[in-house]
Structure formats: structure tokens, C-alpha cells
Amino acid sequence: MTNETDEYYMGLALALAKKGRGHVAPNPMVGAVIVKDGHIIGQGYHEQYGQGHAEVNAFRSASEDVTGATIYVTLEPCSHYGKTPPCADLIIEKKVKRVVVGALDPNPLVAGRGIQKIADAGIEVTTGVLADESRQLNEVFMKFITTKQPFVVLKTAMSLDGKIATATGESQWISGEASRKQVHAERGYLTGILVGINTVLKDNPRLTARLPNSKNPTRIVVDSSLRIPFDRHILQDQDEAPTIIVTTDKADPDKIASLTERGIRVIVVASYQARVDLQAAMAELGALNIDSILLEGGAELNYAALAAGIVDKVQFYIAPKLIGGASAPTPVAGAGIAHLADALPITNMRTQMIGEDIFVEGYIKREVV
């Protein structure tokens, strides 16, 4: 079978995998397509965390006997018992002739063992077909499963001249309706949403994903002195979306107790320069299985997050507006960079129009040691 044919069917499997976005975390998004005699006889994807994996659903949908067929899977089949039995064992049991895999699974419990088990059973295995596409689709999983640290996306909306608000503090709305809709979709895709206490005090946001059939992220507030008032929206509706407050030892123990009684989880971490140590916060949040975070902070928190090295991806929505004002805030404040040579480089950038806004997305380039 040609590489072109393999890539075609793997492309179909990747399209299926994307349907699981926002529903399978902390598992990866995986799609599977079964082909026999040049025809698709089964297909499926991982639809919900804790339920059947892509391979299971593909075999269930098969319109005929899968013996001698080829199965295309976007990620290496699992070889261990989790919430479901190993998919590698199921593939062997079904007597397929060939397995084509996109990316290998970096999970230490799998990490090549699934492929090896299938190959040892005498089944032909091809790996690396559209592997980059599969890894990018599961960038959250790829980081979290190996580091136990959340994948952090810094999102901001600004004017064409780089302002996130006017000099008087007015910021709603800089971006257009189409951009705001996409942001709400992103909230539903990621596990957590992070803001600073100043955003909570100023805007009193709900931080929910207000789209049909979309789950709400866990709301996370960085509040080093625990200044949050009890009347804030995000403290009132824990059944709708849970809230976590990350604070330091400057917090009043009695207030911590009061918040805990209301169902609010309060995490106390070390301080760094009199504020929450964001690296320590990420470790604590990762331990709670929060694999991904949308950072919707203000300029100061954005700078602190970038300086702490916790940001993986940036998303900028640029509106066709000019605001001006020397004191009008920009997306990143703080001390800033003294020398251009030390500026944080952005790589793998892509741009697109969303309504009238320009959407720019890219990744923080890390030094390879």
C-alpha cells in the first residue's frame, strides 16, 4: 500500500479524533479507521473519558469480518489496563493483517510497548504516518503525560495598536463577536481557565463556556493575599463549574476555612517575589489532573506567567481598532525585556481572519539543553 494511501486514511482517522476534543481529557484524542479490500468497513473515535477507545468503537462499527483488514490509528494502541482493557490485545484478537499508527504514545505505561506487542503477534506494523499532525492534535496530552504539568495557552484580545483596554480601563469589547465565540469554544476544550485576582475584582467574570453542549472549565484564581470577596460570581455556582483559588501563606486561615466550607478548593503554595509562585502552582494543579489551562489574565499576570516559563502557546485576537494612550495597558506588562536578544521567540505561527479580527497563534520556543 502506498504512503499516499496511508496518509489518506490516517487523515480520515485524524478528522474523527478531533470530534473528541473537550470530552476525553486527560486522555488523548484518537481516531481509527478499518480498511479491507480498499473499502472502509469500520471507523470510530474516543468519544468520552472512561468509555471505549477509538479502536473499540471502530471494531464495534465494522460492517463485516475484520480478519485480514488494516486498521489506521492516530496514536499507538495502549498496552496496559486503565479504565478499559488494552487495545493492543483487542487488535491481536481481531486478527487484522496490518496496523498503521500515527504518533507513538509517550505515556511511560505504553511508550512503544503497544507496537511491540502487536508486532510480536506477527501483525505488520507501520508507524509515523502523519505523526506531526497527531502530536499537534494531542499537544496537551503529550506534555501532561510526560511532565504532569498543564499545557498553558495565553490568550489576549487587543487593538491594532496593541492595547487591551483604554486609558480609563474600558475593555469590553475589543474583539468581535466571532472571536468571543471562539474563545468560549476554547474554554470548553481546555480543563482550566486562569485569571488573577485583579480581573475578578474589576470584571467579576463567570469564566464559563457559554456554548451549547460545551463543558465548563475549572475556574482558577491567583490571589496571593486571598482578597477575593465572597460575592463574586465564581464563588456562587460551584455546581455549574468548580473554582480553585491559589494563594500563599499570607492568606487568612479563617477565610480559607470559610471558602472551603462553601466548596471552594484553596491551594496554598510558596511565594515568589511576594506573589504566588506560578511554577509551584502548576505542579499542584497538575496533581489535580488539570492537564490544560487557558490563561485569560491581565498584563501583569501575563508577564509573570511568561517570566516563570509556564506558557506553551499564545493566542492573540487583534481587532481593527486604534485606541492610543500612553497609559493604556498592553498585553504584557511587568519589567519587560531589557535586550532584544533576550525576547521570547514565537515559532510555528499561524494566522487567520475571524470575523473582522486577525487571529494569531504560535508557540513559545524553548531552549534545548
Task: Tell whether residue 304 is among the known ligand binding residues.
Answer: yes
Look at the block and give the residue holding cell 509515523.
128
C-alpha cell at 255: 477565610
Task: Tell whether residue 302 is among the known ligand binding residues.
Answer: yes
Task: Tell whether residue 241 is among the known ligand binding residues.
Answer: no
DSSP 205-273: ------STT-PPPEEEEE-TT----TT-GGGT-TTTS-EEEEE-TTS-HHHHHHHHHTT-EEEE--EET
Task: Tell whether residue 102 is among the known ligand binding residues.
Answer: no
DSSP state letter for 338: S
Q: How far is residue 247's CA from residue 227's CA, in Å, rounded to a whole number?
A: 10
Q: Determine contact, residues 319/172, Cβ cutoff 8 Å.
A: no
Q: For 214, phi and psi rounded to 5 degrees?
A: -110, 135
Task: Tell whether residue 199 is among the known ligand binding residues.
Answer: yes
Residue of 7, 47, 55, 261 marked catalytic: 55
Q: How far is residue 285's CA from residue 270's CA, in Å, rounded to a whole number?
A: 14
C-alpha cell at 256: 480559607
Look at the block and give the residue holding cell 470530552.
23
Task: Tell whether residue 120 is among the known ligand binding residues.
Answer: no
Q: Determine contact, residues 197/223, Cβ cutoff 8 Å.
A: yes
Q: Which of 85, 65, 66, 69 is nearest to 77 (CA)?
A: 85
C-alpha cell at 1: 500500500
Task: Tell whether residue 186 is among the known ligand binding residues.
Answer: no
C-alpha cell at 9: 486514511
Task: Tell whether residue 203 is among the known ligand binding residues.
Answer: yes
How far from each other are the two terminal CA atoms of the chain, in whole angstroms?
40
Chain-centre distance of CA 355, in angstroms? 24
Q: Is 284 a catalytic residue?
A: no
Q: How far is residue 247's CA from residue 3's CA, in Å, rounded to a whole number?
A: 53
Task: Tell whether residue 119 is among the known ligand binding residues.
Answer: no
Task: Tell whether residue 333 is among the known ligand binding residues.
Answer: no
Task: Tell whether residue 285 is among the known ligand binding residues.
Answer: no
Task: Tell whether residue 78 is among the known ligand binding residues.
Answer: yes
Task: Tell whether residue 226 is among the known ligand binding residues.
Answer: no
Task: Tell whether residue 177 is among the known ligand binding residues.
Answer: no
Q: How far is residue 174's CA from residue 321's CA, in Å, rounded to a whole number?
A: 8
Task: Tell whether residue 53 is among the known ligand binding residues.
Answer: yes
Identity of the residue numbered 63 = S
Task: Tell whether residue 298 is among the known ligand binding residues.
Answer: yes
Helix axes of 278-287 and 299-308: crossing angle, nearest 10 degrees? 80
- Can you say which residues are annotated as belonging to the binding site for substrate? 171, 187, 203, 207, 210, 296
Residues annotated within the binding site are: 53, 78, 87, 157, 171, 173, 187, 199, 203, 207, 210, 224, 296, 298-304
Q: Any idea which residues carry the catalytic annotation? A: 55
**Residues flagged as binding site for NADP(+):** 157, 173, 199, 224, 298-304
> Residues annotated as binding site for Zn(2+)?
53, 78, 87
